Amino acid sequence: MSTYYLAIDLGAESGRAIIGTLDGEKLSLSEVHRFSNGPVRTPDGMHWDVLRLWTEIKAGIAAAVKSGVSPMGIGLDTWGVDFALLDKDGGLLGNPFHYRDERTDGMVEEAFKSMARAEIFSQTGIQFMQLNTLYQLIAQARKSPKVFEAAETYVSVPDLFNYWLSGELSNEFTHATTTQCFNPLTREWANGLLETYGIPSRLFLPVSQPGTILGSLLPAVAEETGAGKISVVLPACHDTGSAVAAVPAKNQDFAWISSGTWSIMGAEVHEPVLDEKALEYNFTNEGGVFGTWRLSKNIMGLWLVQECRRSWQSHGEDLSYDDITRLAREAQPFMAVIDPDADMFFHPGSMPEKISKFCAESGQSVPQTKGEIVRVALESLALKYRLVLERLEELTGKRLDPIHIIGGGTKNRLLNQFAADCTGRKVVTGPVEATAIGNVLVQAIALGQVGSLKDARAVVRNSFEVETYQPQEKQAWDEAYQRFYDISGCKTGQGI
Per-residue pLDDT at 49:
97
Question: 231 and 349 share a domain?
Answer: no
> Out of 239, 339, 341, 421, which one is annotated catalytic?
239
Instruction: Please give the Cα distance from 60 to 63 (Å, whole number).
Output: 5
224 and 274 part of one domain: no
326 and 232 housed in the same domain:
no
Q: How close are the terminal C-alpha atoms of the chain, in Å?
A: 50
> How far apart are the C-alpha atoms of 175 and 156, rounded to whole Å?
7
Q: Based on the structure, what is the number of domains in the chain?
A: 2
AA letter at 121:
F
Residue where a domain terminates, one of 203, 238, 273: 238
Report the distance separating Cα 266 and Cα 257, nearest Å. 7
Residues 474 and 359 in one domain: yes
Q: How far apart are CA 120 and CA 138, in angstroms?
A: 13
Burial 387-412 (b: 16+ CB within 10 A, else e): bbbebbbebbeeebebbbbbbbbbbb
Q: Decide if 140 is inside a domain.
A: yes
3-state secondary structure of 131: coil
Q: Which of 248, 468, 251, 282 is nearest to 384 (CA)?
A: 282
How distant, in Å, are the alpha carbons of 103, 177, 286, 288 from that of 76? Answer: 28, 17, 18, 15
Residue 45: give its domain's CATH number.
3.30.420.40
Cβ atoms of 293 and 184 within 8 Å: the answer is yes
Is 451 a domain residue?
Answer: no
Tell me how many degrees the CA angle 297-294-393 measures, rounded to the nearest 5.
Answer: 65
Per the domain annotation, does 475 fall within a domain? Answer: yes
Residue 5: CB atoms within 10 Å: 32
Residues 394 and 479 in one domain: yes
Residue type, 332: Q
The C-alpha atoms of residue 24 and residue 5 are separated, in whole angstroms, by 14
Closest CA to 384 of 457, 247, 281: 281
Phi-psi region of 414 (alpha: psi -120 to 50; beta: other; left: phi over 0): alpha
Is the peptide bond prior to 402 cis by the omega test (within 30 degrees of 0)? yes
Query: What SS3 state is found at 62?
Result: helix
> What residues in the chain have per-residue pLDDT under 50?
491-495
Please say whether the beta carbons of 102 and 45 come within 8 A: yes
Are 115 and 185 in a shared domain? yes
Torsion region of 234: left, alpha or beta (phi above 0 gives left; psi -120 to 50 gives alpha): beta
Cα(306)–Cα(470) distance, integer angstroms: 27
Nearest-angstrom CA–CA distance, 437 and 457: 10
Q: 264 pairs with which residues across the strands?
A: 258, 298
| Same-domain pairing of 232 and 274 | no
Q: What pTM was computed for the model? A: 0.91
**Which of 238, 260, 292 is at the close of a domain?**
238
- Does 24 reside within a domain? yes
**Within 13 Å of residue 449, how many CA atoms lie on the same side as its CB?**
23
Judgement on whether residues 255 and 167 belong to the same structural domain of the protein: no
Please report the pLDDT score of residue 1 as a whole number.
82
Residues 214 and 272 in one domain: no
Cβ-count burial 139-154 (b if 16+ within 10 Å, e if not)? bbbeeeeeebeebbbb
H or E stretch at 419? helix 413-423
Whether 282 is covered by a domain: the verdict is yes
79 and 180 housed in the same domain = yes
Q: Is 239 a catalytic residue?
A: yes
Q: Which of 210, 238, 266 is the C-terminal boundary of a domain?
A: 238
Residue 167 domain boundaries: 3-238
39/417 Cα distance (integer angstroms)? 32
Question: Same domain, yes or no, for 273 and 370?
Answer: yes
274 and 404 belong to one structural domain: yes
